[in-house]
Each structure stands twice: as structure tokens, then as C-alpha cells.
Amino acid sequence: MTMSGWSADRIPDQSGRRYVITGANSGLGAAMAEALTAAGAEVTIACRNLDKAERVASSIGDRARVAELNLADLSSVREFATGVDDFDVLINNAGVMALPFARTVDGFEMQMGTNHLGHFALTGLLLPKIGERVVTMSSLAQNWGRIHADDLNWERRRYNRWSAYGDSKLANMVFGRELSRRLTESGSPVRSVLAHPGYAATGLMRQSETPVDYLMRAGEMLHVGQSAAQGALPALYAATEDVANGSYWGPDFVVRGAPASARYRSAADDQPTRDRLWVASEKLTGVTFEV
């Protein structure tokens, strides 16, 4: 199903609605914040780099506020969650990509720790305050990921930065789908939906310190992909339109285009895989969900 011609100016009136967007200090997140506030919403820009966040917020105006959140530090996640009032929509957007091996404050592999475990903990802590939906950003990289629930932190495997990134984005997909199931079974009115940006020209795609960076730059120069504002459209559609719980949205031409229903790996619907990842995530983060 393709939403032909759907663009940010078709976002329904968002007056009175409140959003929390992680990593909205640049790229896709900043584009989402700008589009949502233009439609009348109030947005909390939740991120680690407060200087960049303040610049984005000042360009938007009084409908945007900044709050510190470091997804690579569970104490920061807990502090942020404690300070947030009730709101409507959480957009789990922040992420790191193809980093050299590093660990978070809590000892998690940095990509899994930031992209999945940090958002898992944040969502669990905020869920009682969320009125309408959770939008989790996955990626085309989920297509090469695997869920190693017994080794999420690369303690038994030889580290590969691109495999680690794919694993973390498949984990986002598995988490979002399982959360939708649990919300439905608990009778909650909250929805869990997912999106991916296709190939969007953001700085995230040119920081791997590998030859792939040159391919990314070439792709941007040849306009293979799309702008951050265009890449944000599937998530904006998922966040503002009446979409089904558990649905997944991306560009209609896969790497670019208007929002459309997207395909995902069958692993995301494998219940034993879901269960193993959920249990491992709860154990590592110490966060349990009320659903």
C-alpha cells in the first residue's frame, strides 16, 4: 500500500499533541521535529549533544524543548524518563552506525546498546506515560542482521561493525513487533509501529571509517537516495496517520519515495526469537514492561 504523494504538508493537525523524539538534534530526527511542530505539535528533542539540540530548537521556536538523554548510559535513560510528563507519541529515532568496537557506560556493545537496549529501556520506563503510540526506527540493514540473544554484546564473536549494525536494526524490528503483540494482548490502546528511511543523506551514513563511506558519499552525489526531510516521511506517516498496530513503513521504491507498507524479515515474527531477545533485553537493562 503506497501513500502516493504523501508529504509533510499533509500531516494532520497536531495541535495539542506532544512528542518525544530521540536523536532529534540532526538528520532525520531534526526533520521530524520541524515537520511535527509546523503541524502544531509540541516536541521534546531528547539527545546527548545539547548544543546541536539547542540550535535545532531555537530554529523551530517555542514548540520545541530540549532534554538530555544519553542512550548509551542507563542512568541517563532513567533520569530522563523520571523527568518526562505524560505525552502522546515516542519516536525511537536515535542511532549509531558501523562504529569501531566500543562499549556503553553499562558495558553493552555500543551499537546494540544505543540502537536497541537504550531504546528498549527508555520505552519500558516511559510506557505508562505514553498516550497513543511508539514509533521505532529500523533500517534496511535489518535484512542482514541476526539475533544472537545469548551474545548481544559481542563477547563470544569476532566483532564486525556492519554485522553489529545489522543485528541492532533487526533487534529494533523484533522489539517493535513484539511490543505491538503485547500491547494488543494486554488490551492497551497504545500502538507500536515501525519505519525505515530508505537511503537518506544523513551524516550517520558517512562515519564508519571504512571504504563504504566513499560509496555513501558517491550515492549522495548521484542522488541515489533522498534528503533527510524525505527520509523522515515514513516515520512521520507512522506517527501521525491511522496506521495498524505492528505495521512497518518505508519509501515505496525501497531506498526513496513516498511512505508505503514495507517488507521485513520473517525473523521478526518468529516467537521464540522474540521471546529470547525480550528476556535478554530485560536481563541486561533491568527494565520490565507493564504489558
Residues taking part in catalysis = 165
Please give the backbone phi and psi of residue 11, each rounded to the nearest 5 degrees, phi first: -60, 130
- Of 116, 106, 99, whose CA–CA distance to 22 is shortest? 116
* Cα–Cα dist 214/278, whole Å: 36
- Of 74, 107, 113, 80, whose CA–CA distance to 94 is shortest? 113
Residue type, 97: M
Residue type, 276: R
CB burial class (10 A; 0-12, 13-18, 19+) of residue 78? middle
Residue 82: half-sphere exposure toward Cβ, Cα within 13 Å: 6
C-alpha cell at 105: 557506560
Q: Where are the alpha helices (DSSP H) in the chain?
A: 27-38, 50-60, 74-82, 110-111, 118-126, 161-186, 212-221, 228-231, 233-240, 271-285
Please give the backbone phi and psi of residue 191, each rounded to the nearest 5 degrees, phi first: -110, 150
Reduced to 3 DSSP states, what percent helix, strand and coil does the chain have, rounded to the nearest 5? 45, 15, 40
- For residues 239 and 135, is the Cβ–Cβ distance under 8 A? yes
In eight-state DSSP terms, residue 10 is G
